Amino acid sequence: MPKDQLILFGLLVVVFGLLIWGKWRYDLVAFAALVTAVILGVVPSDKAFEGFGHPATVIIALVLIVSRGLSNSGAIELIATYVVAQGRALWAHITILSGVGAALSAVMNNVGALALLMPIDIQAAKKAKRSPALTLMPLSFATILGGLVTLIGTPPNIIIASFRGEAFPELGPFTMFDFTPVGGACALAGVAFIALIGWRLIPSARLEHDTGEELFEIESYIAEVAVPEDTPVIGKMVRDLDEDCDKLDVVIVGVIRRGKRLPGLGRSEELRKGDILVIEASAEAIDGFVGKMKLEYVGSEQHGGLLARGDLTLIEVVVPHNARIEGRSALSFRLLHRHGITLLGVSRQGRRFYERVRKLNIKAGDILLLLGPKERLGATSEILGTLPLAERGLQLINRRMALAAAGSFAVAIALASFGYLYLPVALALVCIVMVGLNIVPLRDLYESIEWPVIVLLGSMIPIGAALEASGGTALIAQKIVDVAVGSPHWVVLTILMIVTMTLSDVLNNTATTVIAAPIAVDIASKLGVNADPFLMAVAVAASCAFLTPIGHKNNTLIMGPGGYKFGDYWRMGLPLEVLVVAIAVPMILIFWPF
C-alpha cells in the first residue's frame, strides 16, 4: 500500500475514533485532521482550503439562512399550528405531525423543522395528558426522512449533487427534484411505518408515564436554593425536612456551605443562614418548595424587586448541538450578570451530577430551567441557542412577512429547477430579499449559519479528494466488490447502503457522505456501470441515521425532553432502516438503472 494511502487511512481511523468518542467537537477534529494532512504532505497546501469555497458548502450555508427566514416570518409555524390541532387520537396526531414534519424538512433544514414542531408537540402532549416520549421520536425520524425528498432537504443530498457535477461534468450535478422519486418513496413508506407501527416499539418504560407533567417530574432538575435568615428551616437538620419533601415531591441531594459541598448528603447538618440546598425536583415542585419553606432562588437578589412584584418567571429550554451555551457554564457565559437570567436547574436524562449548577458545563440534550424577567427570557433563550419547550410567543414572529418569505423562496426554487439560475445564486437572492425586508435581521445573518458543519465540510472535502487521488477509495471499492463477487449489481448496491448507513449512525452524516461518495463512483467504475444509482444509494443511506441519539442532531435534540436512553432508538430505528433499504434499492433500480 502506498505511503499516502497509509497516512490517509490512519488519519481517517483517528478522525472516526475521535468523532465516535465525542470528547472534542467534530469541527475541531476535522480541521485538525486537515492541518495534519497538509503538514504530512498528503493534501497539497494550495488545495487545503478549497472545501470552504466548494458549492456544497456554500449551498448548505445559504439553506440555513433561508430556513431561518422561513421560521422568522411565521410562514411555517402558522401552517404547523393550524394543522397540528388538539384533541386528536394519538395515531392521528402522530400521522399528521410526522407528515407535516417530513413535508417541512423537504424545503428547509430538518433541524429547523424539528425546532418549530417540537414545542407544539410537547404542549399537545401535556394538554392531552400523555407522555411526549410517544411522539417526539416519531417526529424526529419523520423530519429526517423528509430531508430525502429534495436537493436542499439534507446536506448529504447537496454533497452528492455537487460531487456528481465534479466527477461527471458532462452530466452536471443532480437537480432539485432528482432525489424525489427515491427519497419521496422512502419518506412516504417511513412515515406510514412510524404512524402505524413504529411508535408502538418505543420501550414500555417510556410509555408508562401517562402525562407530560409526569415525564418532566421524573426527568427532574438538579437545582440550588438559598437559605435566608427568616426561614423556618434554620436550625433544623436536613433529615428533619423529609416529611415536607415527600409531600412536595422534592429530594435534597446535598448542602453547600461557604462554596463547598458538605460530605455525603449533609443529612445530619443543622442548616444555617447562607447555606444552599441542592435539590432534585420538577420545575413546579421547586417553586412550591421555595414558597413553603420561605427559601430563595440562588441569584434572585440580582433581580431587585422583580420577584416581589411577580415579574420573574420560569422557562424550560432544551440545548441542541452547537448552541452557544454548549460546552460552557452559566458562570463562564456570565448569564446572570450580563443577561439578568439565572440558571436555576439542569436536567440531564435523570443523571445526578456534583458540580455547582452555575459551574456545570452544559451538554447537548440538557434541559435548562431558567429564571428571569418575562420580557428577557425569550431573547436570552435565542442568545443561548436553546429551544423553549413551549410554543413561542407571537412577539418573536414577524408574520406580516410570511407571504414575502414563502413567495421569494418558491420563485427562487422554480428558477433554479427550470435552469434559469444556478441554485447557489437563486438561494443567495432569497437571502438578500430576506435581509433587505428584515425577515432575517442583519445581526442574525451569520448566527443563522451552523458554522461547525461548514468547518467540518470544508475540512473533510480536501481529505476526501486526497483519498480519492491516492487510490484509497478505489481500494475500498474493490474490497466491497470482492465481497459480492458473482452477485448481481443490486447486491453490491445494497452492501454499499448498509455500510454507509452504519457509518452514519455513529458519525456525522456530512463526513460519511464526503468519504462514501467517491467510493460509490469507484464501485461503479469497477463494475462498468452507471454511477448514479450508487450515488443515490449513498445520499439516502447517509441521511438515515436512526439507531443512536448521536447519529443525527434531531435524535440528540429529543433525548432530554423525551426522557429517552441511548438504547431506546434502535427499537424503532432498526426496522425503519431495514424498510428504507428495502424501498430504496428497487426504487433506485427503476429510476436510476445501471
**For residue 194, what pLDDT is reported?**
95
pLDDT score recorded for residue 78: 66
On the question of pLDDT at 311 being above 70, the answer is: no
566: helix, strand or coil? helix
Distance of CA 583 to the CA centre of its chain: 26
| Dist CA 167 CA 523 (whole Å) | 13
The lowest-confidence range among 214-218, 285-289, 396-400 is: 214-218
User: Is a pLDDT exceeding 60 seen at residue 305?
Assistant: no
Q: How far apart are CA 367 and CA 386, in angstroms?
A: 9
List pLDDT tens digits, range 43-63.
999 999 999 999 889 998 998
Cell numbers given for 504: 452514519
Q: CA dihedral in degrees (194, 200, 202, 208; nearest 10)?
A: 140
Distance CA 453, CA 471 (A): 27
Q: What one-character DSSP code corresponds to residue 359?
A: G
State the pLDDT at residue 195.
92
Phi-psi region of 161 (alpha: psi -120 to 50; beta: other; left: phi over 0): alpha
- Alpha-carbon distance of 334 to 338, in angstroms, equals 5
User: DSSP characters for 49-79?
Assistant: TGGGGSHHHHHHHHHHHHHHHHHHHTHHHHH
In this structure, is the dihedral angle defined by the CA atoms of residues 173, 175, 178 and 184, taken in order, positive or negative? Answer: positive
For residue 419 the three cell numbers come to 435552469
Beta strands in 357-479 (DSSP E): 367-373, 387-388
Q: Judge whether 456 and 15 are in contact, CB under 8 Å.
A: no
Report the distance separating Cα 97 and Cα 83, nearest Å: 8
pLDDT in tens, 83-127: 666 667 888 889 999 999 999 899 888 877 887 788 778 877 877
Residue 257: phi, psi to the nearest 5? -130, 125
Q: How confident is the model at residue 218 (pLDDT cuts 50, 70, 90)?
A: very low
Residue 269 per-residue DSSP state:
P
Cα torsion for 284, 288, 289, 293, to the nearest 10°? 170
Listed ranges 141-150, 204-213, 545-554; the one with the highest mean pLDDT: 141-150
Helix (H) or strand (E) holding 343: strand 342-347
Q: How many helices (H) and strands (E) does the chain have?
A: 27, 9
CB 449 within 8 A of CB 62: no
pLDDT over 90 percentage in the chain: 35
Which three three-digit cell numbers place residue 18? Answer: 475521535
Rounded to whole angstroms, how far apart are CA atoms 418 and 556? 37
Q: Residue 306: exposed, middle, or buried by beta-carbon count in 10 A (0-12, 13-18, 19+)?
A: middle
What pLDDT sits at residue 398? 53
Query: What CA–CA distance (Å, rounded) separates 557 from 124?
Result: 18
Residues 6+ apart with CB under 8 A from 73: 397, 398, 399, 401, 402, 404, 405, 406, 439
If one compares 541 and 111, the residue with the highest pLDDT of the two is 541
d(CA 103, CA 100): 5
Residue type, 218: I
Model pLDDT, residue 217: 42
| pLDDT on residue 585 | 97
Residue written as grid cell 456534583 = 354
Q: What one-character-per-residue DSSP string does 206-260 give?
A: HHS--SHHHHHHHSPEEEEEE--TT-TTTT-BGGGGHHHHHHHT-EEEEEEETTE
Q: Which of 334, 368, 360 is nearest to 261 (CA)?
A: 360
Helix %, strand %, coil % for the chain, to 5?
A: 60, 10, 30
pLDDT of 359 reads 86
Distance of CA 251 to the CA centre of its chain: 31
Q: Count of residues for the chain?
A: 594
Q: What is the pLDDT of residues 351-400, one digit of tens each?
A: 666 678 888 899 888 889 888 887 788 788 888 888 887 654 433 445 56
Give every CB contact of residue 229 below 8 A, 6+ residues apart in sequence.
273
CB 341 within 8 A of CB 377: yes
Could you tell me which of 144, 152, 220 has the C-alpha nearest to residue 186? 144
| CA angle at 427 for the pair 422 and 428, rounded to the nearest 5° | 95
**How close are the terminal C-alpha atoms of the chain, in Å?**
31
Strand, helix or coil for residue 310: coil
Q: Look at residue 393 in the predicted model and tell me its pLDDT.
A: 43
Name which of 314, 324, 299 is nearest 368 in CA terms: 314
Q: Which residues contact 16 (CB under 8 A, 6 or more apart)?
A: 507
CA dihedral (514, 498, 4, 455) in degrees, to 10, reads 30
Q: What was the pLDDT predicted at 10?
A: 93
Q: What are 560-587's pLDDT values in tens digits? A: 788 788 788 999 999 999 999 999 999 9
Task: Please tell me the predicted confidence (pLDDT) of residue 204.
Answer: 61
pLDDT value at residue 85: 62
Pick 326 or 123 by higher pLDDT: 326
The per-residue pLDDT of the chain, averaged, comes to: 85
User: Of the ranges 121-125, 222-226, 523-527, which is most confident?
Assistant: 523-527
DSSP letter at 389 equals: S
Q: Please say whether the beta carbons of 187 and 102 come within 8 A.
A: yes
Cell numbers at 593, concatenated: 438503472
Which of the pair, 285 or 302, is modelled with greater confidence?
285
Highest mean pLDDT of the ranges 48-52, 206-210, 307-311, 550-554: 48-52
CB 574 within 8 A of CB 568: no
Beta-ladder partners of 277: 225, 255
Task: Report how far residue 133's alpha carbon sits from residue 559's, in angstroms, rounded to the nearest whole number.
Answer: 9
pLDDT digits (tens, 9 = 90+) for 475-510: 899 998 888 878 899 999 999 999 999 988 877 788
Domain at 228-294: CATH code: 3.30.70.1450
| SS3 of 127-188 | HCCCCCHHHHHHHHHHHHHHCCCCCCCCHHHHHHHHHHHHHCCCCCCCCCCCCHHHHHHHHH
Integer Rg of the chain from CA? 26
